[in-house]
Amino acid sequence: MYPFLEALVAALILIGAFFLLVGALGLARLPDMMRRLHGPTKATTLGIGALLIASMVYFAAVRGSFSIHELLITLFLFLTAPVSAHMLAKAHILRARAERDRLPATGTATGWATLDSGHPKGE
């Protein structure tokens, strides 16, 4: 394995580990639930992304075979991260009464979907 590739893989692993650490720090340090959601949804995607690219480069260099599993992991991660963040936010809005008062108006005829079934009042 060339020194250049070794340095590249090492750098990618370090970058990935750094962003994963930042994501975890955000989860621990930010003051409230909605702010805490920002850490794990973003910082960790780039962290995992960098680790996966490192894995692809490493196996391409060592085994000489191109591995596509990493791309699939990235794809599934990008599909699931926003959905789980959205469900967490909805659960929070439903459970925390103080949070409901902070929500802005929808600007449409109905309320937010978590709190409003979409049927006219009295139905």
Partner 1 sequence: MRARLLPHPLLTVLIASVFVLLMNEVTAGVVVLGLVLGLAIPLLTAPFWPGRPRLKAPLTIAAYALLVTWDIVVSNIEVAKLILFRRGETLRSRYVTVPLDLHTPEAIALLAGTITMTPGTVSADLSADGRALLVHCLDTGDPEATVAAIKTRYESRLKRIFE
Footprint of partner 1 (CB under 8 A): 19, 22, 25-26, 29-32, 34-35, 37-39, 41-43, 45-47, 49, 67-69, 71-72, 78-79, 81-83, 85-86, 89-90, 93, 102-114, 116-118
Name every residue whose Cβ is closer than 8 Å to that of residue 90 and which is 6 or more positions away in sequence: 113, 114
- CA dist 22 and 110 (Å) reads 38
Which CB, 79 or 98, lies closer to partner 1?
79
* Least CB distance to partner 1 at residue 53 (A): 12
> Can you state the angle between helices 44-62 and 3-29, rounded to 10 degrees?
160
Which CB, 47 or 54, lies closer to partner 1?
47
* Least CB distance to partner 1 at residue 109 (A): 6
* 60 three-state secondary structure: helix
Which CB, 3 or 107, lies closer to partner 1?
107
Least Cα distance to 34 among 82, 88, 79 occurs for 88
